[in-house]
């Protein structure tokens, strides 16, 4: 069974929802980068202050600051696997993750793309904005930045994992249970 997995996809593709299900069912350690960044910002730390403007704008936080956030990770050794959600999002992060895992004598088994259209992402983000009040979901310009970042970074990132035979694309437009079942078929 594949036990070190990363979920990738457009904003609102369902990454965190599926990561939570995997963590619950299989005892995986869950690492959601967006959630970590928001927690760091809410803590009011110096690092959080440096991150806040970038997250508010929908652009990607710099590698240097991402590295600092990663240094705060607890040792996940006792868990049965790891599910990354929203990380890596670009090639330098993929290389950083390779290095971190290698140091722990681990390696990523699979990057799973939860594939949805831009129209579906926009619809889901608008719904989520009403439900959770996330400020980066409410502002059209910020949403567009996030969609544009994906457009720019996704092809190289996907190619990086395809070359290693560690990439799979799943239809993320189906309902939560169907997407989860499809993920399980690929583990
Ligand atoms: P998410 O919760 O995954 O939608 O991420 C929210 C925001 O956090 C993104 O728009 C970025 O500003 C930032 N972010 C999340 N993941 C990353 C990452 N891997 N690298 C850089 N910035 C990130």
87-126 residue pLDDT tens: 999 999 999 999 999 988 899 999 999 999 999 999 999 9
pTM of the model: 0.95
Its sign, for the CA torsion 169, 151, 93, 55, is negative
Which residues have CB under 8 Å from 105's CB, separation 6+? none
Q: Residue 134's pLDDT is what? A: 86
Is there a domain that residue 87 lies in? yes
Is there a domain that residue 50 lies in? no
Is there a domain that residue 144 lies in? yes
Q: For ligand 1, atom 19, which residue shows the shortest CA distance? A: 87
Going from the Cα of 85 to the center of ligand 1, the distance in angstroms, rounded, reads: 10
Going from the Cα of 88 to the center of ligand 1, the distance in angstroms, rounded, reads: 10
> How many CA within 13 A on the CB side of residue 146?
25
Q: For ligand 1, atom 1, which residue shows the shortest CA distance? A: 34
Q: What is the mean pLDDT of residues 42-64?
A: 96
pLDDT at residue 80 tops 90? no
Is there a domain that residue 146 lies in? yes
The tokens for 92 are 């330098």
> Of the residues 34, 57, 62, 67, which should be mutated to test ligand 1's pocket, given the most ligand atoms within 8 Å of the CB?
34
Structural domain boundaries enclosing 169: 4-32+80-186
pLDDT, mean over the chain: 94
Going from the Cα of 54 to the center of ligand 1, the distance in angstroms, rounded, reads: 9
Element (H, E) at 168: strand 167-171
Count: domains in the chain = 1
Is there a domain that residue 103 lies in? yes
Ligand 1 binding residues, C-beta < 6 A: 11, 33-34, 37, 54-55, 58-61, 66, 86-87, 89, 93, 136, 146
The predicted-structure confidence for 14-30, as pLDDT tens digits, reads as follows 999 999 999 999 999 99
Is there a domain that residue 47 lies in? no
Question: Which domain CATH number covers 179?
Answer: 3.40.50.300
Going from the Cα of 61 to the center of ligand 1, the distance in angstroms, rounded, reads: 7
């Amino acid at each position: 069974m594949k036990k070190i997995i990363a979920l990738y996809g457009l904003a609102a593709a369902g990454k965190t929802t599926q990561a939570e299900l995997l963590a619950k069912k299989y005892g995986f350690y869950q690492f959601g980068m967006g959630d970590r960044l928001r927690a760091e910002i809410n803590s009011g730390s110096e690092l959080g202050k440096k991150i806040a403007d970038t997250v508010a704008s929908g652009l990607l936080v710099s590698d240097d600051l991402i590295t600092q956030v990663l240094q705060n990770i607890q040792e996940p050794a006792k868990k049965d696997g790891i599910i990354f959600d929203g990380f890596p999002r670009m090639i330098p992060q993929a290389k950083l993750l390779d290095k971190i895992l290698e140091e722990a004598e681990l390696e990523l088994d699979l990057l799973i793309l939860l594939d949805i259209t831009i129209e579906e992402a926009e619809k889901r983000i608008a719904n989520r904005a009403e439900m959770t009040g996330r400020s980066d979901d409410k502002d059209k310009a910020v949403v567009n930045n996030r969609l544009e970042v994906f457009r720019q970074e996704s092809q190289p990132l996907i190619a990086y994992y395809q070359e290693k035979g560690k990439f799979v694309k799943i239809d993320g437009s189906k309902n939560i249970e169907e997407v989860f079942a499809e993920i399980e078929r690929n583990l």
